[in-house]
Structures are given as C-alpha cells and as structure tokens.
C-alpha cells in the first residue's frame, strides 16, 4: 500500500488557493491513501464564530467534492480536515474521501484551546471506515494526547490511523511512537507548517515534522519542521492485524478490563 502525507501551510480564508495547492501537490502522486492537515481548506485561527460560519461547509459541499477529484487522480483515498457545517452547528472534522465521494466523516472529540469557543465537540465517537478493503480510523490533532482515542480505533479494528493535525505543542511527534506501539497500528500524522497571528497576542507556530510510525514503534518517515513536503512510504497494513508482543502476550486480549476504572 502506497501512502503519503501532504505537509503544507494553508492560507487562512483562501479556500480555492488551498485546494489548488492540494491538487498540484497530488497531481503526480499515485497513492492508495493521502493524509492532509487539520482544517486544510480554510486555515486555523478564526477570529470569531461568524467568520467560522462563513467558511464552513457541509460534508457534501464543494470543497469535499473537489477533493474527491483529487482522490480519483491519485487512484486512492484521502483524509482531509475541514470545518463541517451542519445546520447552525460547526464541527472540526476530517473526511475520508474516495473517487466516488465521502466514505465517512470523523468529528474531533478533544477540542484544543480556543476551539472550545468556536466548534461543537464531536458527537459520533471514533468510527472505523474501510478504504480499498483496509480499516482506517481518524484522529484530529489534540486527540493524540488522550490514549483512549487511538485505543478506541484499535479496538474498532483500525489498522491505519490517519491523524490530521495543526500541532503547536512540541510533544506529539514523539508520543506517536507509543500510540502506535501500544495499539500495534500504523499512524500517519500529517501536520501543517507556517504561522497564524490573526488575533493580537495569540500567535500559532505550527511545528511541521509530519510523521509515519509502524506497529512496532519504528519511524517510517519524517517531514521537515518548517517547509512544505510530500512524505511517502510503502506499508503492509496487514501487519497491524498482529497484536502479539511475544508468543504469550497480546495487546488487546491481555487487557485486564476487570481491574480498570474507566
């Protein structure tokens, strides 16, 4: 399975420009799965809810339809973060999109900082979708901090976790090694680069360093900290179906759920 991540710096509010950048980067990129950053069509720092509502789109909106064409050009599927409008509600979401359209949508469960003032918290749990016969789960940015996120997806059968991110804290890239290892899954964490300071005194410096990690915790590919990049790898996703650590230890079956306080 050929996989890729598109690390770039979306321009705030310039939806068509951001979509063009995605199309150009993916034009000669044959891939079964491409992961894009969080809120990759709009940019990140909304000044207020009015601005968010103006840029948000439904899951079947024109941006996602256009990304379906990108998926078709790549010959596979892609995961893209976007601001999802449903009636007068807006979710920080990511869509799994194929040539035929939307396969599924995940809504961010763990909202970060000012997101709590803008977005509704996710209300659909952690679903697992299938793309090309491969079970794929989705996390968005701050979800990484909560072990339950990746564990829920692993328990749901995900072999690959697509992590669409706008990371500003310095910890995630290293923590992904543990998340992949403790669940024996592949993680594709696609982060953005650049900075946004659309509100005085509130500057976001995005850390780049998009990272792919295998079920054994080994780093498969890394992106640069401060430049656009297309990061690619070839993986065998079925490796994530093997949850054994030793011949007598299994990361799912060995859990002592009778002893946990959840």
16 contact partners, CB below 8 Å, separation of at least 6: none
Pairing type for strands 195-199 and 186-190 reads unpaired
Burial of 86 (0-12, 13-18, 19+ CB in 10 A): middle
38 labelled catalytic: yes
Reported residue count of the chain is 262
170: tokens are 């310095």
CA distance 146 to 155: 15
Which residue of the set 108, 115, 172, 190 is catalytic?
108
Contact at 8 Å (CB) between 77 and 98? Answer: yes
Which residue of the set 26, 38, 40, 85 is catalytic?
38
| Secondary structure tally for the chain: helices H, strands E | 6, 16
141 labelled catalytic: yes
Which residue of the set 40, 74, 141, 190 is catalytic?
141
Tally of CA atoms within 13 A in the half-sphere of 58 that contains its CB: 5
Active site (catalytic) residues: 38, 108, 141
């Amino acid at each position: 399975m050929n996989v890729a991540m598109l690390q770039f710096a979306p321009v705030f509010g310039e939806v068509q420009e951001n979509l063009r950048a995605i199309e150009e980067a993916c034009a000669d990129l044959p891939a079964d799965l491409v992961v894009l950053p969080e809120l990759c069509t709009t940019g990140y720092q909304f000044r207020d809810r009015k601005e968010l509502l103006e840029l948000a789109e439904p899951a079947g909106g024109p941006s996602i339809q256009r990304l379906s064409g990108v998926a078709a050009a790549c010959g596979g599927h892609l995961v893209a973060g976007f601001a999802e409008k449903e009636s007068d509600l807006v979710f920080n979401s990511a869509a799994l999109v194929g040539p035929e359209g939307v396969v599924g949508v995940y809504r961010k469960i763990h909202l970060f900082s000012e997101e709590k003032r803008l977005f509704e918290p996710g209300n659909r749990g952690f679903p697992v979708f299938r793309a090309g016969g491969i079970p794929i789960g989705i996390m968005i940015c701050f979800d990484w901090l909560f072990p339950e996120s990746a564990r829920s997806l692993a328990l749901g059968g995900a072999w690959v976790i697509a992590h669409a991110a706008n990371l500003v804290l310095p910890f995630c890239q290293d923590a992904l090694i543990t998340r992949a290892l403790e669940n024996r899954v592949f993680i594709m964490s696609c982060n953005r680069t650049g900075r946004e300071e659309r509100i005085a005194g509130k500057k976001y410096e995005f850390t780049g360093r998009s990272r792919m990690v295998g079920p054994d915790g080994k780093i498969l590919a890394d992106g640069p900290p401060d430049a656009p990049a297309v990061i690619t790898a070839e993986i065998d996703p079925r490796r994530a179906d093997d949850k054994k650590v030793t011949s007598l230890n299994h990361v799912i079956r060995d859990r002592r759920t009778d002893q946990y306080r959840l």
